Amino acid sequence: MADLQQKRIVLGVTGGIAAYKAAELLRLLIKDGADVQVVMTQAACGFITPATMQALSGKPVYTDMWDARAPDNMAHISLTRAADMIVVAPASADFLAKLAQGFADDLLSTLCLARSRGGCRLAVAPAMNREMWGNPATQRNVAQLARDGISILGPASGAQACGEVGAGRMLEASEIHAELCALVEPRLFDGTRILITAGPTFEPIDAVRGITNRSSGKMGYAIARAALAAGAEVTLISGPTALDPPAAACIERVETAAEMYSAVQKHVERADIFISVAAVADYRVDAPRKNKIKKSEDTLTLKLLPNPDILSWVAARPRPPFCVGFAAETDNLVQYAEEKRRRKKIPLLVANLAHEALGADDNELTLLDDDGIHVLPRAAKTALARSLIAYIAARYRATQKS
Catalytic residues: 162
Distance, CA of 76 to CA of 254 (rounded, Å): 50
* Phi, psi values for residue 271, rounded to 5°: -85, 135
Question: CA of 239: how far to CAs of 15, 202, 220, 230, in Å?
Answer: 38, 8, 10, 24
DSSP assignment string, 230-281: TT-EEEEEE-S-SSPPPTTSEEEE--SHHHHHHHHHHHGGG-SEEEE--B--
CA-atom Rg of the chain in angstroms: 24
Distance, CA of 108 to CA of 62 (rounded, Å): 9
Distance, CA of 232 to CA of 228 (rounded, Å): 5
First-to-final CA distance of the chain: 24
Strand partners, 366: 351, 375
Spell out the residues 6+ positions from residue 371 whose beta carbon is closer than 8 angstroms to its own: none
- C-alpha 157: how far from chain center: 18
Q: Cβ of 342: how many Cβ atoms within 10 Å?
A: 11
CA angle 348, 352, 358 (to 5 degrees): 125
State the SS3 of 167-195. EEECCCHHHHHHHHHHHHCCCCCCCCEEE
At 68, the amino acid letter reads A
Question: CA of 24: how far to CAs of 52, 89, 129, 172, 345, in Å?
Answer: 11, 11, 21, 9, 43
